[in-house]
Structure 1
Amino acid sequence: MGTFTIEGGHSLHGSITPQGAKNEALQILCAVLLTPEKVTINNIPDIVDVNKLIALLEDLGVKIQKKGKGSYTFMANDVNLDYLLSDQFKVDGRGLRGSIMLVGPLLARFGKGYIPKPGGDKIGRRRLDTHFEGFIKLGAKFRYNREEHFYGVEAEKLKGTYMLLDEASVTGTANIVMAAVLAEGTTTIYNAACEPYLQQLCKMLNRMGAKISGIGSNLLTIEGVDSLKGTTHTMLPDMIEIGSWIGLAAMTKSELTIKDVSWENLGQIPTAFHKLGITLERREDDIHIPAHTEGYKIHNYIDGSILTIADAPWPGLTPDLLSIILVVATQAKGEVLIHQKMFESRLFFVDKLIDMGAKIILCDPHRATVIGHDFKSTLKSTVMTSPDIRAGISLLIAALSAKGTSTIHNIEQIDRGYESIDTRLRAIGAHITRV
């Protein structure tokens, strides 16, 4: 189990470029299975979860060539479907939440898709019903082996239909879209997710020959086609990492520039940090954060009541950023209620921040009230363990702002979502060592 040792209390400076988007990569990489032709993907982040998925594709028989940093070609012209029923796949597929999105493309192109119950962060219930209910509506037969926790769907030919999703699941929508592009007839998906990464997937599929309309809305119409061709795709920067660097700059009173952020795809993220009193300057496609030497003050509502920051489906605030916003609020002037609606275990890491001296009241599994210190007292160093990706980066931000030397164990969780994070942080002045 890896460990970070962090000497906090140092101001950072310079610029940092966000990696390619993790959540987009997991969708886009699965889509290469939809065509036997070559697909080139650029700006792929070099992180544990993405590398696991690339290894899974290779074990499936996809021919993969690395062209350069973050750039690969994929050719799925000789897929080994027997691997899906192997004991090795039951182990490999279980270790990655994103592996569920292999099912849609496999079902669409080969008439069958299997997956063991996938793992991922322990942040609460993450049901798969939306995925499989969508496949069933397209005409697939579902089966589940309870002893091995092994899911399967099969169909001779998928048929387009109307469906109203029970939740605007991003991965569920992506999976159903990838299945529907090769279905016979027209599929209409209402209450579809419309996050930028889902939009990126739909645009890529259209370049491959799919016929998807309504991109960017919650009503997608997909006219099925017989086959798809190859394409080239470049992934967006990771909006969660961009939010992480904004929070880091504010907490450490540092002047930082975040390069090439794709402003038009950030949605509510700049607004959420503005509500915490953090100044963001737009410089072309960069974000410049000046040093908040006087701190930052949380904005109350017009009637003076306490601010609430909550997650919501796009264009609302992504739930992946709430852990970071919570830790940034611990040094703000004022109070804020953080409402994590989607996952009931994601806020449980606040006990570690309380140990560091933060003033946080965990109201229930979904809500926490934060009373900011206004930098009148700093967080103190401690020893902690990262429970998941987003809590891990939040604890790292806390440690970099804290007085003294902190230790974070289980940093493999952070590596799952952040590329070479210690090297990149050292480049802007952080005192961090990987043990």
Structure 2
Amino acid sequence: MGTFKIEGGQALKGNITPQGAKNEALQILCAVLLTNEEVKIDNIPDIRDVNKLIEILGNLGVKIQKLGKGSFSFKSDDLHLDYLQSEKFKEEGASLRGSIMIVGPLLGRFGKGYIPKPGGDKIGRRRLDTHFEGFINLGAKFRYNKEERFYGVEAPNGLKGKYMLLEEASVTGTANILMAAVLAEGETTIYNAACEPYLQQLCKMLVSMGADIQGIGSNLLKIVGVKSLGGCTHRVLPDMVEIGSWIGLAAMTKSELTIKDVSWDDLGVIPNTFRKLGVQLERKGDDIYIPAHKDGYEVASFIDGSIMNISDAPWPGFTPDLLSIMLVVATQARGSVLIHQKMFESRLFFVDKLIDMGAKIILCDPHRATVIGHDFQSQLKATTMTSPDIRAGISLLIAALSAKGISTIHNIEQIDRGYENIDERLQAIGAKITRVS
């Protein structure tokens, strides 16, 4: 198990460029299974979860060629579908939640798809019902082997388009159903579809491959199935969650940072949500400039004077992946804020680590935490921690970089699942962080 040693309290300075978006890459990589022609993808992040999915694709028979840093070509013209029911796949697929999205394209193209019950972050229940109900609506038959925890969907007579209203605007569920529907017979309508930029990117890629999709960017998608799809070239967006992480890092460490090439138009409410905590940031071209907050930052209040409430919501609301960052930033703000995690019930349980560091946090219940900011009058104290998941892990890392003394973070493999070479990139802007085996 890997460990980070962090000497906190250092002001950072310089430029940092966000990696490609993890959540988009996982969807885009699964979409290469929809065609037997070559697909080229640029800006793929070099992180554990993405690399694991690329390895699974290779074992499935996809021809993979690395063209350069973050650039790959994929060709799925001779797949080994028997691998899907092998013990090796059951082990590999179960360790990666994103592997669930290979089912949709395989079902659409070959009439069958299988997946072991996937793992992922320990952040509460994350149901797969939306995925499989969508496949059933398209005409597939579902089966689940309870003993082996193995899912299967089969449509030997092909899929047929249908109107469906999703119970929840699941990002991966929408992506999976969409990838099955592009090769189904007739028209499919998906209402209450997720519309995150990652989903929009997937739709744009599929259209460039020959798919017929209307309503991109909205929660109402209409797909007219086509016989086959061709190859394409696609570039992954910069990771909005990493961009938010660097904004939070700059504020907490009173650092002057420029985040390069952020694709501002795809950030939605993220910049303004940080401004609610008093964090100053400026748009310079397609970069974000954050000045050193020498005098701290002050939480805004609502018009009626009530306490600021920051909560997550499906896009275009604030992404739940950044709520833990907001919570950490709030610990040194001037004022108080209520953090309301609506979409997952276990994502706030890492706050006990912050309390150990001296943060003033009241955990109201699994979904809500009230943070009373220190206004930098009392610096967080270094401590020893263990990263429970990706987003809590980066939040604890930011806290450690702002704390007084040397902190230790164990189980950093969780952080590596979502952040590329994070120690080296932080060292380049002045952070004192060391990776220990």
TM range (shorter): over 0.9
Quote the Cα distance in structure 1 between the aligned partners of 2:106 and 2:301: 49
- Aligned counterparts, 1:31-430, within 5 A: 31-156=31-156, 157-430=158-431
Quote the Cα distance in structure 2 between the aligned partners of 1:411 and 1:388: 9
For 2:315, the aligned partner's letter is: W
* TM superposition shift of 1:184: 0.1
What number of residue pairs does the alignment pair up?
435
- What TM-score, normalized by structure 1, do the two folds share? 1.00
Q: Deviations over 1:91-129 (max 9, x none)?
A: 000000000000000000011000000000000000000
Q: Deviations over 1:145-172 (max 9, x none)?
A: 0001100000020000000000000000
Give structure 1 regions of 4+ aligned residues with deviation exceeding 6 angstroms: none
Quote the Cα distance in structure 2 between the aligned partners of 1:39 and 1:87: 28
Quote the Cα distance in structure 1 between the aligned partners of 2:105 and 2:122: 26
Q: Deviations over 1:13-68 (max 9, x none)?
A: 00000000000000000000000000000000000000000000000000000000
* TM superposition shift of 1:398: 0.1
Instruction: Give 3-state SS (helix, strand or coil) of 1:173's partner.
Output: helix
Q: Which runs of 5+ in 1 are unaligned?
A: none
For 1:384, the aligned partner's letter is: M
Instruction: Give 3-state SS (helix, strand or coil) of 1:49's partner.
Output: helix
Instruction: Give 3-state SS (helix, strand or coil) of 1:66's partner.
Output: strand
Instruction: Give 3-state SS (helix, strand or coil) of 2:292's partner.
Output: coil
What's the % identity of the aligned pairs? Answer: 80
For 1:398, the aligned partner's letter is: A
Q: Deviations over 1:334-392 (max 9, x none)?
A: 00000000110000000000000000000000000000000000000000000000000
Q: Deviations over 1:173-214 (max 9, x none)?
A: 000000000000000000000000000000000000000000
Residue 2 of structure 1 corresponds to 2
Instruction: Give 3-state SS (helix, strand or coil) of 2:202's partner.
Output: helix
For 2:29, the aligned partner's letter is: L
* TM superposition shift of 1:248: 0.1
For 2:36, the aligned partner's letter is: P
Instruction: Give 3-state SS (helix, strand or coil) of 1:77's partner.
Output: coil
Quote the Cα distance in structure 2 between the aligned partners of 1:258 and 1:242: 7
For 1:297, the aligned partner's letter is: E
Q: Deviations over 1:216-250 (max 9, x none)?
A: 00000000000000000000000000000000000
Instruction: Give 3-state SS (helix, strand or coil) of 1:201's partner.
Output: helix
For 2:186, the aligned partner's letter is: G
Q: Which runs of 5+ in 2 are unaligned?
A: none
Quote the Cα distance in structure 1 between the aligned partners of 2:203 and 2:107: 18
For 2:273, the aligned partner's letter is: A
* TM superposition shift of 1:421: 0.1
Quote the Cα distance in structure 1 between the aligned partners of 2:91 and 2:236: 28
Instruction: Give 3-state SS (helix, strand or coil) of 1:348's partner.
Output: coil
Quote the Cα distance in structure 1 between the aligned partners of 2:100 and 2:404: 42
For 1:427, the aligned partner's letter is: A
For 2:331, the aligned partner's letter is: T
Quote the Cα distance in structure 2 between the aligned partners of 1:85 and 1:151: 10
For 2:301, the aligned partner's letter is: N
* TM superposition shift of 1:275: 0.1
Quote the Cα distance in structure 1 between the aligned partners of 2:297 and 2:280: 8
Quote the Cα distance in structure 1 between the aligned partners of 2:339 and 2:59: 42
For 2:356, the aligned partner's letter is: D
Instruction: Give 3-state SS (helix, strand or coil) of 1:160's partner.
Output: coil
Instruction: Give 3-state SS (helix, strand or coil) of 2:348's partner.
Output: helix
Residue 18 of structure 1 corresponds to 18
For 1:380, the aligned partner's letter is: K
* TM superposition shift of 1:90: 0.4
Q: Deviations over 1:67-99 (max 9, x none)?
A: 000000000000100000100000000000000
Quote the Cα distance in structure 2 between the aligned partners of 1:236 and 1:322: 21
Quote the Cα distance in structure 1 between the aligned partners of 2:424 and 2:82: 40
For 1:242, the aligned partner's letter is: I
Instruction: Give 3-state SS (helix, strand or coil) of 1:26's partner.
Output: helix
- What TM-score, normalized by structure 2, do the two folds share? 0.99
Quote the Cα distance in structure 2 between the aligned partners of 1:188 and 1:227: 19
For 1:332, the aligned partner's letter is: A
For 1:270, the aligned partner's letter is: P
